Structure 1
Amino acid sequence: MTKKSIFIILLLFCSSLFGQKPITVSSPDGLLKYRLNVTKEEIKYSVSYKGKDLIEDSRLGFNFQSGEFGSDLKIGKIIEQEIDETYELVIGKVRNARDYCNQVTIPLEEKSKSGRIINLVVRAYNDGIAFRYVFPEQENWNSYVMYDEKTQFHLTGNPQSLFMYLPGYINSHEALYTHIGYEDIEEGKLIEMPITFEYSEGVYMSITEAAIRNYAGIYLTKSSNVLEGKLSPKLGQEKIKVVINEFPHQTPWRVMSISDHLETLFETNILTNLNEPCKLEDTSWIRPYKTTFTWWNGNVVPDSTFSPGNNFETNKYYIDFAARNGIDLHGIYGYAETPWYYDDNFNFGWPGENVDVTKPIPCLNLPRIINYAQSQGVGLHVWVHWKALYPKLEEAFAKYQQWGIKGLMIDFLDRNDQEMILIQEEFLKVAAKYHLFVQFHGASKPSGLIRTYPNEFTREGTLNYEVYKWDTVINADHDISIPFTRMLAGSTDYHLGGFRAVPRSKFKIQYTNPLVTSTRCHMLAMYVVLENYLTLLCDKPKAYEGQAGFEFLRKVPAGWDEIKVPHAKINEYLTIARRKGNDWWIGTLNNSTERKLKLPLQFLEKGEKYIAEIYTDADDVDVDANHLNFQELEVDLNDVIELPLASDGGAAIHIRKIEIE
């Protein structure tokens, strides 16, 4: 049930007053403040927390084809709102969320003859600040061609900064992370968001964006010690970023999650708060899934009477594995680099002129696979290249629904310009019409749209475990950066499930049967730490069955009701506890430094007893990284569990309530 309480106060100020006195928006607890200064020459804002400026004198404005916007402005009627609303997420890191903030709408009107008006909307939460630009209907202006959005973030001091450089606007949003002081960030390089900062005073801030719709995605670059927004340009040129043909219109939100408790950056619901409510009338068909994904392991099958490939027998082998172990789905992508559908180019990355995603290749025998999977209670999802899919969107999705397909991985998007943002939303809309979930690969970060379109299960946008197949750069030190950056934007696909772990010194590149360099317990923990509503089990069946820890993967949920963060230190370690029903699932990730942590169980329900199933790194993981220790303990909220974490290690715990009959 949604409860909404909105209190609106209208205040009229003359423009001369605002030229002298800043407009201030404070969070409900009064600790966060957004201040706007409007002078004849420019618009600038600052953000402070507990009286300390984090962002100062940062410019706002635009450069349109019709001229710049940002000087010689007057202020119209300001609308102040207190928003207090609860809502339920169909899928998400919590079941119920609260949207509680103070909002101010500030009309900015040019004094010139054109009289263009843009409303600046600011929200101050207890855990962050967000602002966006709204273009209302008006007599003399109803469309624009935008060359630049001039939003800046001028940080104070020299906070430690964790972020990803990118080579250009067309990219897969995958790279290693850099952890340096703000002053050492290179000027002119493109930076992906989220970007996370740790101030010397023990305050944390992460900058990203929310509700990216009919607009270009934004990056950052550093210029004269200021971070400036850089919109992704329209394809084939660099000047035009956004074209809008009708008002009203609004930009995405520019979001700063802020707290002196690092765990708040994980627990906040600010991104879904800033998105519209669910647009789907019927969501009864939507639930998180676990699935096989055979591409990662190389479609490995045992020595037998058939060869691996695009055939019924290979898929039957994995469907049988899924059925035996309660895995919801089997993923069909094809074999080697050849898709499951007809493609005259026979290449994953570049569809041919005559590609047809509605025509399975004959040797696959898809009808037989569909019938067999249904007989075993296993669903199917398929891989497609977006360029092959988009021209036949309605036809393909209608056919997939007819076949009983549950959803699809849409790959190689590699852009976040306005056109691609619109295409992605179209994928979600049409997929929902045919009861299909969407998993975006080779794609930009999420922005909280899971509230509006809960069939957007996950996105990649990470340099992840697929890279083990061809490079040596992935390890636990990279893994630990992901939750503090990319995952702060939402659901994170990471090709989890490699169950053949070796110490770094013994790692070798294997495209088929790839190895991983973190411990077995580290891998188990990733299934809890990473938010992801389509959980992949990427290894071969023989790597799992009979192996220590596989029972944890069989039982761990893919969707959640509540989140708590007992431990967090940027780029060192992280513990996340997630609740589903009465059970808690806990994952702890460690970097390459061995350590011990103590886990208090204060998040458990008072007066209740629980059984904790605890998986920790064995003493000899430096020899065999697959070894682990397992124990069961009776616990309650007063207990503390000791977690010995090996180098590249982790821990995983399942806590279930003792039901008294």
Structure 2
Amino acid sequence: MKINLLGKILLLVALWCTGTVTSAKDYLLTSPDKTIQVKVSVTDVIKWSVIRKGETVLLPSPLSMTLISGEKLGVNPVVQKDSRKSVKETITAVVPVKNRLIPDVYNELKLQCKGGYVVHFRAYNDGAAYRFETNLPANEIEVQHETANFQLGGNYQVYWPQESDPEFQSHYEATFKDTTLASIGSQQYGYLPLLFTSGKGTKVLISEADLYDYPNLFLFGTGSSQLTSAFPKVILESKLKGNSDRNEQITRKAEYIARTSGKRTFPWRTLIVTDDKGLLETDMVYKLATPNTLSQTAWIKPGKVAWDWYNFNNVYGVDFRAGVNTDTYKYYIDFAAQYGLEYIILDEGWSAATTNLMAPNKDLNLAALMQYANSKKVGVILWALWNTLDKDIDKILDQFVKWGVKGVKVDFMARGDQYMVNYYERVAKAAAQRQLLVDLHGAYKPVGLNRKYPNVLSYEGVKGLESNKWSDIITPTHNVTLPFTRMVAGPMDYTPGAMVNTTKIGFKDVFNQPMSQGTRAHQVAMYVIYESPLQMLADSPTNYLKDPECTRFISQIPTTWDKTVALAGKSGEYVAMARKHGKNWYIGGMTNWDARDLNIPLTFLDGKAYQMEVLRDGINADRHPQDYIIETRPVKAGETIQVKMSGGGGWSAILRPVE
């Protein structure tokens, strides 16, 4: 018996040393405020689960990474060392989107595993995250697949941005379908962020952060409460379709999703677990991102922009022919200067061709225009097709600098593979070296690039106002869904500011004379609610000039925020937020097609007296949505104000301290 027992012990020791047997073990990680628990189980695979206030919102879900060379990180793991730390710091945002000072408070668990990899887990008060880190002997590895599955705690309600392209090509501009998790079949996939609501009303938002040199994560349904991970493979060959300058056909792909360094950290897989108000306040993606790498940032100037493309350059009441020409853009500059807007954008059409960004079109005297803009202290941003810029980025951006341009709007990327992720960073870095701002369109969601390169001011990746030109899907319901879904990931270039506003039955999609559903006050409130350090005024300058009171009000709302306080909200129904910039506070409220009254306590104010200027729906806004009222009255801390909104309406206020 003794010999047999000794033999068994020796066999177990040998198996343990070869890594063919693992010892099951659980690790528990708790958030600083004890509301979130992360349970990590190490058996034949590493799994994690997440609990909030006793409710399991994520059941044990596997995580692993498979390399082409055969290694399977996270499978049959052997934990050699575990370590923990607690962090309580404050991040100062270079370009503050929600908050200038961001508390970075979390507890972390690191599992160092045999085979040269580490898995990091973090627990925040509003969620959790994990990432892989490798320290492999190979200088270069090829990742075949990463398992980042999510087994939710039940058949949750979900806002699902349905996609269909088998190559994961997308402008990331789907609407968010309100459905259930079990209704998403195995052939259906969506992009991040994804928002779920548990049976108890807990909000669970899945996204990712610190994404570099690696493809975007997409999630497929299974007809159950589980989602499975998928990634675009590395593109080896592609070509443009027909005579298109931007629509790609992928003709050859690799068998791997990334070829990358063997010594690196991989993207954070993030799970924000909170309530509706918590979604409006979270900074998790920003906190998990790589810190600012730019030594000089004083030149980065956020601001508002007079934008041409939405309104089709339809200026009128002028003595020149409107279009993509010098006179029209001088008119934009005059408008911007009159209302203190920092920039204008020259969108598609300004250049000799979309494939030639080195020369303006024949109707545009760019040198004269730049001189005129400088005299008016208005910056100019130029549009660029991504693949044209990609072919000769240094030469093109150098030319932009010679012209005196302040930034570049890069468009139609429509991919989320490794090359495109690297392209985003190359653009950000090359632009920063020349002190140029960046606005990314046709883009996937923010993943923290705007923290590492704060000259990246905004991203599209949203079904925004421009869709009014060809569809009726931009409804007030859609508009009050975005703050709880897409906007949670970061800056959102929705391009608000429609001045032609209609009822549901009065709306028509007219490409060259667009209008919006909902009230004027609904549009104005977007300047407080929607986060974008480069915020557009999308309508015709003429329409703004014809309504100077509304335009004056919009022009006084800043584009960055020192502090954000969520006041009330429910995804798809309504939202109300307070934001501080300098000494002033700003309040915004928006509702879906239901008229709504909210009582807002001014508990966020200090002891000062404030003068509150309000732009709200007029008494007839339900039948004539352009009806609004501007009124002023004194308020003070502790007072409760009534926010009254028509169906499809909005409410905004600027609170200035009485000196």
- Asked if Structure 1 and Structure 2 have the same fold, meaning a TM-score greater than 0.5 normalized by the shorter chain, the answer is yes
Give, in angstroms, the shift of residue 194 of structure 1. 1.0
Within 2, Cα distance between the matches of 1:452 and 1:577? Answer: 27
Aligned to 1:6: none
- Relative distance call for 1:367 and 1:196 in structure 2 (3 A) is same
Aligned to 2:59: 56
Aligned to 1:308: 322
Give % identity.
30
Contact residue 323 and residue 378 of structure 1 kept, 8 A: yes
Letter in 1 for 2:267: P
2:107 aligned to which of 90, 102, 106? 102
Within 1, Cα distance between the matches of 2:570 and 2:543? Answer: 32
2:152 aligned to which of 155, 159, 175? 155
Report whether the alignment pairs 1:443 with 2:440: no
Pairs within 5 Å for 1:192-207: 192-207=191-206
Pairs within 5 Å for 1:203-352: 203-223=202-222, 225=224, 226-235=226-235, 236=250, 237=252, 240-259=255-274, 261-334=275-348, 339-343=349-353, 351=354
Aligned to 2:140: 143
1:246 counterpart SS class: strand
Within 1, Cα distance between the matches of 2:223 and 2:469? Answer: 40
Within 2, Cα distance between the matches of 1:18 and 1:86? Answer: 39
Within 1, Cα distance between the matches of 2:75 and 2:396? Answer: 50
Contact residue 22 and residue 76 of structure 2 kept, 8 A: no
Letter in 1 for 2:269: R
Give per-residue Cα distances to partners, 1:232-291, cap 9 Å, x unaligned. Answer: 2222456634333433122110001112x3212221221111112110000010121111
Within 2, Cα distance between the matches of 1:151 and 1:444? Answer: 19
2:579 counterpart SS class: strand
Letter in 1 for 2:118: N
- Alignment RMSD (CA, Å): 1.9
Letter in 1 for 2:536: L
Contact residue 458 and residue 534 of structure 1 kept, 8 A: yes
Within 1, Cα distance between the matches of 2:404 and 2:254? Answer: 44
Letter in 2 for 1:470: W
Aligned to 1:412: 412
2:89 aligned to which of 74, 85, 90? 85
* Farther-moved stretch of structure 1 (620-629 vs 454-463): 620-629
Within 1, Cα distance between the matches of 2:206 and 2:232? Answer: 17
Give per-residue Cα distances to partners, 1:370-405, cap 9 Å, x unaligned. Answer: 011111121111111011111221122122122221
Give, in angstroms, the shift of residue 42 of structure 1. 2.2
Give, in angstroms, the shift of residue 356 of structure 1. 2.3
Contact residue 213 and residue 252 of structure 1 kept, 8 A: yes
Letter in 1 for 2:282: T
Within 2, Cα distance between the matches of 1:632 and 1:224? Answer: 53
Give per-residue Cα distances to partners, 1:80-119, cap 9 Å, x unaligned. Answer: 111222121111211111211111111222xxxxxx3321
Report whether the alignment pairs 1:36 with 2:40: yes
Give, in angstroms, the shift of residue 601 of structure 1. 0.8
Within 2, Cα distance between the matches of 1:295 and 1:16? Answer: 61
Aligned to 1:613: 613
- Relative distance call for 1:333 and 1:511 in structure 2 (3 A) is same
1:67 counterpart SS class: coil
Pairs within 5 Å for 1:473-492: 473-492=473-492
Give the alignment's TM-score, normalised by structure 1. Answer: 0.91
Within 1, Cα distance between the matches of 2:112 and 2:78? Answer: 8
Within 1, Cα distance between the matches of 2:109 and 2:20? Answer: 19
- Relative distance call for 1:599 and 1:241 in structure 2 (3 A) is farther
Contact residue 147 and residue 239 of structure 1 kept, 8 A: no
Aligned to 2:185: 186
* Farther-moved stretch of structure 1 (26-35 vs 575-584): 26-35
Give, in angstroms, the shift of residue 309 of structure 1. 2.4
1:451 counterpart SS class: helix
Letter in 1 for 2:208: E
Contact residue 57 and residue 153 of structure 2 kept, 8 A: yes
- Relative distance call for 1:232 and 1:17 in structure 2 (3 A) is closer
Contact residue 181 and residue 221 of structure 2 kept, 8 A: no
Contact residue 184 and residue 222 of structure 2 kept, 8 A: no
Aligned to 1:601: 602
Contact residue 31 and residue 126 of structure 1 kept, 8 A: yes
Within 2, Cα distance between the matches of 1:68 and 1:27? Answer: 32
Give, in angstroms, the shift of residue 303 of structure 1. 4.4
Runs of 5+ unmatched residues, structure 1: 1-12, 110-115, 344-350
Aligned to 1:131: 130
1:405 counterpart SS class: coil
Give per-residue Cα distances to partners, 1:290-309, cap 9 Å, x unaligned. Answer: 11111111111224442122
Contact residue 144 and residue 258 of structure 2 kept, 8 A: no
Give per-residue Cα distances to partners, 1:619-644, cap 9 Å, x unaligned. Answer: 21122101012221211111111111
Within 2, Cα distance between the matches of 1:513 and 1:432? Answer: 36
Give, in angstroms, the shift of residue 427 of structure 1. 0.1
Give per-residue Cα distances to partners, 1:407-463, cap 9 Å, x unaligned. Answer: 111000000100000011000000000001100011100012221110111111111
Contact residue 408 and residue 439 of structure 2 kept, 8 A: yes
2:523 counterpart SS class: helix
Within 2, Cα distance between the matches of 1:593 and 1:18? Answer: 57
* Farther-moved stretch of structure 1 (458-467 vs 160-169): 160-169
Contact residue 172 and residue 413 of structure 1 kept, 8 A: yes
Aligned to 1:3: none
Contact residue 233 and residue 258 of structure 2 kept, 8 A: no
Contact residue 163 and residue 194 of structure 1 kept, 8 A: no
- Relative distance call for 1:441 and 1:585 in structure 2 (3 A) is same
1:364 counterpart SS class: coil
Give, in angstroms, the shift of residue 31 of structure 1. 2.0
Letter in 2 for 1:77: K
Report whether the alignment pairs 1:557 with 2:555: no
Within 2, Cα distance between the matches of 1:268 and 1:555? Answer: 25
Within 2, Cα distance between the matches of 1:477 and 1:71? Answer: 44
Within 2, Cα distance between the matches of 1:146 and 1:383? Answer: 35
Within 1, Cα distance between the matches of 2:263 and 2:216? Answer: 19
Give, in angstroms, the shift of residue 534 of structure 1. 0.7
Within 2, Cα distance between the matches of 1:416 and 1:647? Answer: 37
Give per-residue Cα distances to partners, 1:549-594, cap 9 Å, x unaligned. Answer: 2221111101110000010111100011111011111111100111
Pairs within 5 Å for 1:108-127: 108-109=113-114, 116-127=115-126
1:122 counterpart SS class: strand
2:419 counterpart SS class: helix
* Farther-moved stretch of structure 1 (15-24 vs 217-226): 15-24
Letter in 2 for 1:84: K
Contact residue 68 and residue 256 of structure 2 kept, 8 A: no
* Farther-moved stretch of structure 1 (366-375 vs 322-331): 322-331
Aligned to 1:112: none
Contact residue 216 and residue 241 of structure 1 kept, 8 A: no
Report whether the alignment pairs 1:46 with 2:61: no
Aligned to 1:400: 400
Pairs within 5 Å for 1:493-512: 493-512=493-512
Give per-residue Cα distances to partners, 1:337-379, cap 9 Å, x unaligned. Answer: xx22222xxxxxxx4xxx3212222321100000111111211
Aligned length: 622
2:402 counterpart SS class: helix
* Farther-moved stretch of structure 1 (359-368 vs 184-193): 184-193
Contact residue 241 and residue 418 of structure 1 kept, 8 A: no
- Relative distance call for 1:315 and 1:224 in structure 2 (3 A) is closer
Contact residue 156 and residue 196 of structure 2 kept, 8 A: yes
Within 1, Cα distance between the matches of 2:32 and 2:50? Answer: 15
Within 1, Cα distance between the matches of 2:260 and 2:538? Answer: 45
Aligned to 1:9: none
